[in-house]
Structure 1
Amino acid sequence: MQLTHDQNKFQQKTFPITIVCDAITSPANVGGIFRAADAFGAEKVIFCGSLLPDFGKRMQKTSRSTEKYVPFEFSETILTTLESLKEDGYKLLALEITENSTPLQQLQLSKTDKIAIIIGAERLGVSEEVLNLADVISHIEMFGNNSSMNVAQALTVALYQVTKCIS
């Protein structure tokens, strides 16, 4: 028998994972990011950029009200945000396909690591400036014709792998 939300036996847990969104504004993606952050116990989401994300009905429908539970904040400048996280001891993990990125399943993390997962804008990905600040650049291996995924879906895959590594 399928369990309802109230019947599941999942242990609630928060991980030292902050999600840093670089110029992500799509309501569906913002909602998906909140939902993934809640599902995998991320401590916070930071939306960076000069445009605020759309928190309208589409976002609320996609998030299933998780924006009410997941702490979040806004920052105009991602570089300042990342430098601050680095000073606070976070390892910066950029989720992007580059010449030097490593497959996500080869990620080596310690149980004591604090992680900031950086995800990029829908069309542009993670900028070179941000990639230069990252401690680790990792990608999701894909086996079809396409070389990219929806940002919220990619985040979900990354959160699954990161929580496996640090729990």
Structure 2
Amino acid sequence: MQLTHDTTNFENKQFPVILLLDNITSEANIGSIFRLADAFGVQKLIFHGTVPNLNSNRLKRTARNTHNTVDFEVFEDATQAIGDLKNSGYKMTAMEITSESKPISNFQLEAEKILLVAGNERHGVSEEILKNCDTAYHIEMFGKNSSMNVAQSLGIALYEITKVLCS
């Protein structure tokens, strides 16, 4: 028998993870990220640059009301917020393929608090944000493409990160 929201025995938890969304523009992706944040017990979303259209029907349908329950902030420029979070112990980790990135399947907890960065659908994490990151992880892929949908990549990353946080 399929269980409903009210009949699952999942433990309600929140992890010391904040998502920094660097100019993510797709309303469907933003809605999916709200749902992922709820599902994985993310503390908060920080939108940097592009302001999300929370009145979008596409976003609302995809988010399934989580845009009303997940904490978030919007900054045209999140530089001050990033500095404040890093000063309070957050390790800034990008989901981006770089010359120094490691596979997310090998994620290691290097700090108690994580500021996980995801980038724009077309251009990835901006150089401005990337230079502030302490580390970077990527998803190993086996096809010809070297990119993945931002919401899907965050789902994979949050799964790997929360797996480590729960152990």
Q: TM exceeds 0.5? A: yes
SS in 2 for 1:133: coil
- Give 4+ residue runs of structure 1 displaced > 3 Å after superposition: none
Deviation digits for residues 86-108 of structure 1, max 9, x if unmatched? 01110101000011110001111
What pairs with 1:1-167 in structure 2 (closer than 5 Å)?
1-49=1-49, 51-55=50-54, 56-109=56-109, 113-167=112-166
| Structure 1 position 5, deviation (Å) | 1.7
Q: Superposition RMSD on alpha carbons, in Å? A: 1.2
Distance in 2 (CA, whole Å) between partners of 1:161 and 1:52 is 28
Q: Compare 33-42 and 75-84 and name the one that shifted more.
A: 75-84
Deviation digits for residues 16-73 of structure 1, max 9, x if unmatched? 1000001112110110110000000001001010x31122110000001111110011
Structure 2: which 5+ runs fail to align? none
SS in 2 for 1:143: coil
Aligned AA (1:105): S
Distance in 2 (CA, whole Å) between partners of 1:14 and 1:147 is 31
Aligned AA (2:155): T
Aligned AA (1:147): S
Deviation digits for residues 133-163 of structure 1, max 9, x if unmatched? 1111000111122211110111111111111
Aligned AA (2:92): L
Q: TM-score, normalised by structure 2?
A: 0.94
SS in 1 for 2:114: strand
Deviation digits for residues 99-127 of structure 1, max 9, x if unmatched? 111000111105x6100100001111011
Structure 1: which 5+ runs fail to align? none
Distance in 2 (CA, whole Å) between partners of 1:80 and 1:24 is 19
Distance in 1 (CA, whole Å) between partners of 2:142 and 2:4 is 34
Aligned 8 A contact 1:26 1:54 in 2: no
| Structure 1 position 85, deviation (Å) | 1.2
Distance in 1 (CA, whole Å) between partners of 2:80 and 2:18 is 15
